[in-house]
Chains A and B, each alone.
Chain A
Amino acid sequence: MTDTSMPSLRQNPRPRNSRRGRGTLVAWLFIAPALLFYTAFVLIPISMTAYYSLLRWNGIGAMQFRGLQNYLTVLTEPDLLTTIGNAFQLVLYFTVLPVGIGLGIAQVIRTHLGGPFGTTARTILFIPQVIPLVAAGIAWSWMLASNGVINQLLSAVGLGGWTRGWLGDFDFALPAVGIIGAWVLLGLCTMLLVTGIAKIDPTLYEAAKLDGASGWDEFVNVTVPGLRQEIGVCVTVTVIAALASFDIVYVATGGGPGGVTNVPGLEIYRLAFAHRQVGLASALAIVLMILVIACILPIQWLMREPRK
C-alpha cells in the first residue's frame, strides 16, 4: 500500500463505486443534523421573511397580499432611505477608521510586539471584541453624556467650547455612534494586521530600504499588498457590523434624535414588533440582506490571491 499503487485514491478520495451507495447514505447522515437545524432555523425563516415581505400583516390578524408594494415603500420613503444612508455612513467609522488606523499602527509597531508587554497589549486591545456590544453601548453612552468623561477631557485640553450632549446632538450623534463601533473593532483590526504584517517577508522591507524607499513607499508597496488578505477580512467583518448594526444603536441612542441615527436593523425590529407592520419590516430585511451580499461579494472577489 504505497503511493504508487493507489494514485487514483490520492487524488480523488471518494469511496469506490461498489460502496458508493452505502457511502453516500452515511455521508449524508453526517451532514444531516447540521442541515436540519440550518433549514429549520435559517433557510425556512429566510423564505418566510420573503413571503411576509409581500403582505400587509400586523402579526395577529388577517394577511393581505400586496405584491411588491412594500419594496416600493422601502425604496421611496425618506425615513427608510435615511436608515440605509445611515448604515453606509457608519461604514465610514466602523471600517475606514479601524482599518486605516490599524494599518498605520501595524506599520509602526510591526517589530515591537514581543514579550510580556506585547502580550498584555494584545490582551487588553482584544477586550472590546469579547464584551457584548450592549455593554460597549452602555459604557460609551455614559462617557458621551453631557457630564461624561469625553466632555471632561475636552475641557481639560481647552476645547471646552466643544462640549455637548453628544448622543443627543443632531450633527454629532451618528459620528458618536460610529466612534463606539470604531472602538469595538479597532483592537481586532489592529491585531489582525499586526499579525499579518509579521508574516510579510522582512527581506522585502530590506530590499525597499536598499532601493531608497521612504517609509510611505514601503507602506504602499510592501505593507499594503502583503496585507491584502487581512485587510479584506477586516473590511468584510466591519462592513457587515456596520450594515447590520443593532445592539449599539439600540442602547446608545435608540435611533434618535429625530431619527438621525436610525439604522435598518433597528427599524426592522421597530416596524415588526412595535408598529406591527410585519410586511414592511420583512421587505426592509430582505433589502438589507441583498445590500450586505452586494457589498461583500466585491470585497471577497478583490481579496482573492492573484494566481502566481
Chain B
Amino acid sequence: MGVTSLKAIGVVAALSVSALSATAYAAPTCGADPVVLNSYFETGFPLPTRLAEEFTKQFPNVTFDIKEDQFANLMENSPRVLAGDNAPDLIRLPSISDLVVDGLLKNLDGYFTDFGWDKFPASQLVQLRINESGRPRGEGSLYSMGLNYSLTGVFYNKTLAAQIGMTAAPQTLAELDALLEKAKAAGIQPIQEWNAPNAGLAFPLQNLMGAYGDPTPINDWIFQKPGATIDTPANLQATQHLEKWIKAGYFPADANSLDYGANMGQFIGGTGLFLFNGDWESGNLDKQMAGNAGFFLMPPAVAGAKHAAMSAPLTYGIGAKAKNADCAAYFLNWVATNEEARKINVAVGGSNPGGPPDLPIPAVAPGSVTEATLTAGNVLAGDNGAMDFIANATGAIFAEGWTPPLQLLVGGRTDAAAVLKAVQAEYEKQLAR
C-alpha cells in the first residue's frame, strides 16, 4: 500500500509537472470547438482565401468569414472596422503606424515567444515592428505578420520583347531606356501601368529610386525616423527620370482612369511590354500568360551596382478587439511553417513563403515567372536591397501624399521637384497631427 501510494504520488507529481510544463510552454491553438475567423482581405489577391481553404481542410472546426475590399477602401475602412464591435481576427493592413497609435492592433510579441518566431530571420520581421508611439517603424514590438515576402520589379511580355529584339534582361538603366525607346518606335505600349484610384506609378518611381540610390534613407523615411526626408538628390534624379518617361509617352494615355484590375487585364491581354508590379502576380501570370511572361529586377543606374527594390511582406494583423486572436495567430504561424501552406504560398502567391530558413522552399516549374521572381528575391537578399513600399510610410500618404502629385505629373501639370516637395510637405503635416 505504501509503495503503491508513493508510486501514485510520484506518478501524480510527474503528471502535474508535465501538465504544468505543458501549459507553460503550449502555444495557442484553435482548440476543438467551432471557430469562425472574421477576416478582411484585399480584392484580387486569392492567396489568403486559398490558404484559408487549406486551413479549414486541415482543421475542420475552423471556418473563415471573409470580406474583401479594394485597396483604397481597405485603407479607408480599417480604422473604423478595427474600432468597431466586430473587429476582424485577420485583416490585411497596408499600413500599421496610425492603427498602432490608436491601439487598434494586437501586440504580437506574446505569439513571437509562444510560436518561436525568433527562428525566422530577423530581417524578415523588421518591417513588421513598430514603436508603441507609432513611430519609428523597424524597431519595437511586433504588430503584424506577413503571409509571404514579396518583391517588385519589371514583368515583361516575351512575345512583344522578341518583336523588338530583346534577348536578355537589361543590366543597366540605360539599357532599359533603350528598350523603351525601341518599343515606342515599334508602336508597342512601352509600359502598362495604372494610376487610379491610387498612383500605381509609385511602383516604377520606387524602382527608379532604388536604381539611383542607397535604400537606407528611403527606408528611414518610410519608417518615420526623425529627420528623414524623401526629397533627396538621388530621389530627385529618379523622379526626373520618371518624368522623362511620362513625357516620352511610355505610359498609357489614360493611366489616370486605369485601375489595377483593368491594367492587369490589359497586360494579360497582350498590351504593354513592361509592367512594374510585384511577384504576388506571378501565380496569376503563370496561369493566364503561361510561358509568355518574364521578370527581371530593376537594373541599377550604374553597371554592376547593387540592386534595390521594394520587398515587403503583404502584411496582416490581428484586431486588438478580435475575439479569436489566438486562433488567428495560430493560422499565421501555420502559413509560415506548414508544408502544404508553403506550397500554396509559392504557387498562388508567387512569393517566398518566409518562415524558418531551414524549411525548404517548395519547387517551382522551371522557366516560370514564379521561378524568376524567387531567384530575383535571392539576388535582392544578397544585395541587402530590400525597401518597404513608399506608399506605406503613413496611413494616408498614398491617397493624400503620392497620388495627387503623381496623377498631376501624368497629366503634365507639375514637375518632378514639385512632386517630392508636395509629398514631403504632406508627410510632415500628417506626422504632426
Q: Which residue in chain B gives the minimum CB-CB distance to A277?
A: B433
- Give chain B residues whose Cβ lies under 8 Å from the Cβ of A256: 196-197, 403-404, 407
Complex Cα spacing A146 to B257, Å: 8
> In the docked arrangement, what's the CA distance between A210 and B421, Å?
70
Q: Are B254 and A165 in contact (CB under 8 A)?
A: yes
B257 is contacted by which of A165, A258, A259, A270 (Cβ under 8 Å)? A165
Question: Which B residues are CB-close (under 8 A) to A294?
Answer: none
Q: A243 vs B56: C-alpha distance in the bound complex, in angstroms? A: 49
From A60, which residue of chain B is reached at the shortest CB distance?
A: B102
Decide: A257 near B76, CB < 8 A? Known: A168-B196, A170-B411, A275-B396. no
Contact indicator B80/A168 (Cβ below 8 Å): no
CB contacts (< 8 Å) of B197 on chain A: these are 253-254, 256
- B256 contact from A60, A61, A168, A270, Cβ within 8 A: A168
Q: Could you tell me how many residues of chain A have their Cβ less than 8 Å away from some Cβ of chain B?
A: 25
What residues of B have a CB within 8 angstroms of the CB of A145 in the complex?
Answer: 257, 262
The reply to whether B76 and A276 form a contact with Cβ atoms under 8 Å apart is no
Q: A254-B197, A274-B79 are in contact. Are A170 and B413 (CB under 8 A)?
A: yes
| Residue in A170, A274, A275 whose Cβ sees the most chain B Cβ within 10 Å | A274
Nearest residue, chain B, Cβ from A166: B257
Answer whether residue B176 sits at the interface, using C-beta atoms and an 8 A cutoff. Answer: no
Interface string of A221-263 (1 = CB under 8 A from B): 0000000000000000000000000000000011011110000
Known: A168-B196, A274-B76. A146 touches B258 (CB 8 A): yes
- Which A residues are in CB contact (< 8 Å) with B186? none
Task: Report B295-319 CB contacts with A as 1/0, cut-off 8 Å.
Answer: 0000000000000000000000000
Q: Give the Cβ gap from B344 to chain A, nearest Cβ, in Å.
A: 32
Closest residue of chain B to A141 (Cβ to Cβ) is: B257
Query: Does B30 reach chain A (CB closer than 8 Å)?
Result: no
Across the interface, name the chain B residue whose C-beta is closest to A145. Answer: B257
Least CB distance, B114 to chain A, in whole angstroms: 28
Is A164 positioned at the interface, with any CB of B under 8 Å from its CB?
yes
Query: Which residue of the partner chain, among B83, B262, B396, contacts A60 with CB atoms under 8 Å?
Result: B83
Q: Which residues of A contact B75 (CB under 8 A)?
A: 274
Q: Categorize the interface residue count of chain B.
A: 20 to 34
Nearest to A148 among chain B residues (CB) is B257
Does A169 count as interface, using CB distance less than 8 angstroms? Answer: yes
- Majority DSSP secondary structure for residues of A touching B: loop
B408 within 8 A of partner (CB): yes
B173-199 with Cβ < 8 A to chain A: 195-197
- Of the listed residues B72, B75, B83, B256, the one surrounded by the most CB atoms of chain A closer than 10 A to its CB is B256
**What distance in Å separates the Cβ of A83 from its nearest Cβ neighbour in chain B?**
13
Is B140 an interface residue when CB atoms closer than 8 A count as contact?
no
Q: Are B408 and A276 in contact (CB under 8 A)?
A: no
Across the interface, B102 reaches (CB within 8 A) one of A257, A273, A276, namely A276
Contact A270 B102 (CB under 8 A): no
Contact A273-B411, Cβ < 8 Å, known A60-B102, A165-B254, A169-B257: no
B258 touches A168 (CB 8 A): yes
Q: Is the CB of B258 within 8 A of A276?
A: no
A-B contact pairs, 25 of them (CB 8 A): A59-B79, A146-B254, A146-B257, A164-B257, A165-B254, A165-B258, A167-B257, A168-B195, A168-B255, A168-B407, A170-B413, A253-B197, A254-B197, A256-B407, A257-B196, A257-B257, A258-B404, A258-B405, A258-B407, A273-B76, A273-B79, A273-B80, A274-B75, A275-B396, A276-B79
Q: Give the 8 A-B residue pairs with the shortest CB-CB distance, closest first.
A: A168-B257, A165-B257, A168-B256, A165-B254, A258-B404, A274-B76, A257-B407, A146-B254
